[in-house]
């Protein structure tokens, strides 16, 4: 085990309980919960520190559970999580503040001066060392938005650093949001390629795109209409007694925007008057019930305290590939036929900020039970494996950056609310929420 992790855990054991939730509130977590989350969060921070290229700041898409470098394929979404991780690491003293600020500067300089962009939008996949386009990828609207979330987080976390503030502001303000509408009055495109132009799909139904729309509506230089917020479909579903807005099976769609935007105690003024934070709580609890109903078919995989399926690697048709799976399915549709007993830890981890009671129990049970069975293949330098299957014995040898990222940010929001605190200091976001009628509940 890493020497710093050992020292960290010894320190936790010797200290009194700390506060969780927003700082200054009464603690809801036991000392054992805090020790577990400290260990998990520190390991996830290591991923973003070690798997970012020191000369570009671009974060690799994946790595081995025990720290092996897989390739130089970088993800701009993972880089957004990585910028936010620098703030958490500096705030907790896991990385020297000067080192964290310098890594943020390096990243912002590269994004501002060297990375290719199309009207401010960036390629989904880049080479971590050079920034060259990889996999003939698209200029991605949602992945650029997740990058911008990290850019605006460091702008507030390191607000006394003039270079960071200036570069972060310039990167956000150069994004031409109306261009990504591609002629539509309200709905943004998924992306663009130089070979084929705009992708045919639009963000037209509930998904992880809420942060994209709020960034676009709040832009001080290239805004889109606040009516865009209400242009995408909101389809309700009821499962196991929980009613919520549904968009796609993977649980991450209910998590990613919330990693930065504090939707608590806010409700839309129009339509169903949705409270999106409560919506994600209901979606998580319904998802757990979905897994429990799978327990009869996969008794070794799912239980009251082992559950969770969201987009991840999977073993399917004789090879490892990526599955955009989850549940429950909408009424009248069968569940994903690829579901085979695989458990994805980031499903529960990404909902720590919503449902700490069931999410913490699941994560602690997984660590205690399956670390003994699978060892470092399951719980390694960067925390949990991306996915594993207790029914078949398959354990993914990799972790994936965006799944590590949602684990870290959700855990920090549960414990301190600090990511919310930093991001919500950006006036553009508050202006966008006001414009669409996402106002505090009275």
What residue ranges do the domains of the chain occupy? 3-440
DSSP 416: T
> Topology of 3-440 in CATH?
Glycosyltransferase (1.50.10)
Predicted confidence (pLDDT) at residue 190 exceeds the cutoff of 70: yes
Cβ atoms < 10 Å from Cβ of 241: 9
CB 383, CB 43: distance < 8 Å:
yes
pLDDT of residue 28: 83
What's the average model confidence in pLDDT over 27-40? Answer: 93
pLDDT of residue 2: 44
User: What is the pLDDT confidence band of residue 17, given thresholds at 50, 70 and 90?
Assistant: very low
Per residue in 204-227, pLDDT (tens digit) is: 999 999 999 999 999 999 999 999
User: What is the pLDDT confidence band of residue 367, given thresholds at 50, 70 and 90?
Assistant: very high
More confidently predicted of 5 and 46: 46
pLDDT of residue 27: 55
User: What is the pLDDT confidence band of residue 442, given thresholds at 50, 70 and 90?
Assistant: confident
Per residue in 374-411, pLDDT (tens digit) is: 999 999 999 999 999 999 999 999 999 999 999 999 99
CB 359, CB 351: distance < 8 Å:
yes
- Spell 28-48 as b/e; 16+ CB within 10 A means b: ebeeebbbbbbbbbbbbbbbb
Cβ atoms < 10 Å from Cβ of 189: 23
Per residue in 92-111, pLDDT (tens digit) is: 999 999 999 999 999 999 99
pLDDT of residue 74: 98
Predicted confidence (pLDDT) at residue 414 exceeds the cutoff of 60: yes
Predicted confidence (pLDDT) at residue 5 exceeds the cutoff of 50: no
- What is the C-alpha separation between 353 and 95, in angstroms, rounded? 24
Per residue in 337-359, pLDDT (tens digit) is: 999 999 999 999 999 999 999 99
pLDDT of residue 127: 98
Of residues 117, 135, 133, 132, the one with CA closest to residue 173: 117
How many CA atoms, within 13 angstroms, populate the side-chain half-sphere of residue 437? Answer: 13
CB 168, CB 158: distance < 8 Å:
no
- Structure token digits, residue 292: 């429990």
- What is the C-alpha separation between 145 and 210, in angstroms, rounded? 10
- What is the C-alpha separation between 45 and 86, in angstroms, rounded? 8
pLDDT of residue 16: 30
Omega of the bond prior to 408 within 30 degrees of 0, cis? no
Mean pLDDT, the chain, rounded, equals 94
Per residue in 232-270, pLDDT (tens digit) is: 999 999 999 999 999 999 999 999 999 999 999 999 999
pLDDT of residue 331: 87
What's the average model confidence in pLDDT over 307-318? Answer: 97
Pseudo-torsion of CA 374, 375, 377, 380, nearest 10°?
150
- Structure token digits, residue 90: 């500096």
């Amino acid at each position: 085990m890493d020497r710093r992790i050992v020292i960290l855990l010894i320190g936790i054991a010797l200290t009194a309980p700390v506060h969780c939730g927003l700082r200054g509130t009464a603690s809801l977590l036991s000392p054992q919960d805090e020790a577990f989350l400290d260990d998990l969060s520190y390991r996830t921070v290591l991923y973003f520190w070690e798997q970012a290229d020191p000369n570009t700041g671009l974060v690799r898409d994946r790595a081995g559970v025990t720290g092996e470098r897989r390739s130089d394929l970088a993800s701009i979404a993972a880089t957004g999580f990585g910028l936010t991780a620098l703030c958490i690491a500096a705030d907790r003293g896991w990385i020297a503040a000067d080192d964290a600020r310098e890594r943020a500067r390096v990243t912002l300089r590269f994004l501002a001066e060297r990375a290719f962009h199309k009207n401010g939008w960036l390629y989904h996949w880049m080479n971590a060392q050079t920034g060259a386009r990889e996999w003939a990828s698209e200029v991605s609207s949602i992945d650029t938005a997740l990058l911008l979330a990290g850019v605006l987080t460091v702008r507030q976390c390191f607000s006394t650093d003039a270079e960071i503030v200036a570069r972060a502001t310039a990167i956000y303000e150069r994004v031409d949001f109306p261009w990504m509408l591609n002629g539509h009055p309200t709905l943004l495109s998924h992306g663009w390629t130089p070979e084929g132009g705009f992708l045919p799909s639009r963000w037209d139904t509930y998904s992880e795109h809420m942060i994209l729309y709020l960034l676009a509506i709040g832009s001080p230089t290239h805004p889109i209409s606040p009516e865009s917020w209400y242009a995408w479909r909101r389809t309700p579903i009821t499962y196991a007694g929980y009613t919520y807005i549904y968009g796609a099976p993977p649980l991450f769609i209910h998590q990613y925007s919330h990693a930065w935007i504090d939707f608590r105690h806010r409700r839309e003024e129009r339509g169903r008057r949705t409270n999106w934070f409560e919506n994600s709580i209901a979606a998580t609890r319904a998802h757990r019930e979905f897994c429990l109903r799978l327990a009869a078919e996969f008794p070794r995989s799912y239980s009251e305290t082992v559950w969770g399926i969201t987009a991840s690697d999977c073993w399917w048709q004789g090879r490892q590939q990526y599955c955009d799976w989850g549940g429950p399915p909408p009424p009248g549709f069968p569940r994903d036929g690829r579901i085979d007993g695989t458990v994805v830890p980031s499903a529960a981890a990404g909902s720590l900020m919503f449902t700490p009671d069931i999410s913490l129990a699941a994560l602690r049970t997984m660590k205690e039970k399956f670390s003994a069975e699978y060892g470092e293949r399951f719980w390694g330098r960067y925390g949990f494996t991306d996915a594993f299957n207790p029914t078949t014995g398959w354990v993914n040898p990799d972790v994936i950056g965006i799944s590590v990222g949602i684990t870290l940010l959700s855990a920090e929001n549960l414990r301190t609310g600090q990511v919310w605190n930093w991001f919500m200091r950006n006036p553009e976001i508050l202006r966008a929420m006001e414009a669409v009628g996402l106002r505090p509940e009275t």
